[in-house]
């Protein structure tokens, strides 16, 4: 049998995948379909790549077959490989994005306290908010407003001692006349006499002894 170099020519074409060659004969004419498939490519778009169709006599195909298919097969192979690399890149990007999202969510969760759900947690949160307002007023030097803002013991019985101490510390910073009006200072000339002799001392309004 004569030796053919058909497969040597096929092996010389740089492609990856499965090369399907179909030959149909119509009289003296041959119709050849060449389709490159790459199962390693997961992109469904590869299914839209049409086969390469060549028609001619046996002599014509022998002379021009490989020249006609070499470049298209090489380019198609590159396209399929790039499509797969693109898909893998997309998948890597998605995974990285998901990882970053989880990190961000975890960091946000660490920064934000859990939302209170039970009545006790809600009450504790309310107390902290009120006392934070007290702290703010005290820091601004508004001691009276801060004292007023401290809740009543009936609202938070378990915090009664703490609130009592807080009021005491705030009231110590009040000015003396905050809750009561001081009596005016007694004038020197209105001081009550200290002794009986002083009380019967006969002098007039200018301090001159009364002659009578």
- pLDDT for 24 equals 94
Phi–psi pair at 21, nearest 5 degrees = -120, 125
Look at residue 182 and tell me whether its pLDDT is greater than 50.
Answer: no
pLDDT tens per residue across span 67-91: 999 999 899 888 888 888 877 888 8
Q: Kindly state the helix (H) or strand (E) to which residue 55 belongs, with its residue range.
A: strand 52-56
Bridge partners (DSSP) listed for residue 23: 32
Burial of 73 (0-12, 13-18, 19+ CB in 10 A): buried
Distance of CA 192 to the CA centre of its chain: 77
Rounded Cα distance between 32 and 25, Å, is 9
- pLDDT for 175 equals 56
- pLDDT for 190 equals 37
- pLDDT for 176 equals 54
pLDDT tens per residue across span 125-175: 899 999 999 999 989 888 889 899 999 888 888 988 998 898 888 888 875
């Amino acid at each position: 049998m004569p030796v053919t170099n058909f497969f040597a020519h096929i092996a010389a074409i740089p492609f990856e995948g499965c090369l399907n060659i179909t030959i149909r004969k119509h009289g003296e004419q041959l119709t050849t379909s060449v389709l490159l498939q790459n199962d390693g490519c997961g992109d469904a778009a590869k299914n839209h790549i049409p086969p390469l169709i060549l028609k001619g006599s046996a002599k014509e195909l022998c002379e021009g077959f490989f020249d006609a298919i070499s470049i298209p097969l090489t380019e198609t192979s590159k396209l399929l490989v790039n499509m797969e690399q693109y898909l893998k890149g997309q998948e890597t990007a998605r995974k990285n994005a998901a990882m970053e999202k989880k990190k961000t969510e975890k960091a946000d969760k660490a920064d934000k306290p859990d939302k209170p759900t039970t009545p006790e947690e809600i009450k504790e949160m309310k107390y902290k908010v009120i006392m934070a307002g007290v702290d703010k007023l005290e820091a601004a030097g508004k001691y009276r407003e801060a004292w007023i803002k401290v809740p009543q013991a009936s609202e938070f019985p378990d915090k009664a001692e703490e609130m009592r101490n807080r009021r005491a510390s705030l009231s110590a910073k009040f000015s003396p006349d905050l809750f009561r009006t001081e009596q005016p200072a007694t004038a020197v000339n209105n001081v009550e006499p200290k002794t009986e002799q002083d009380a019967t001392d006969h002098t007039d309004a200018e301090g001159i002894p009364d002659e009578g």
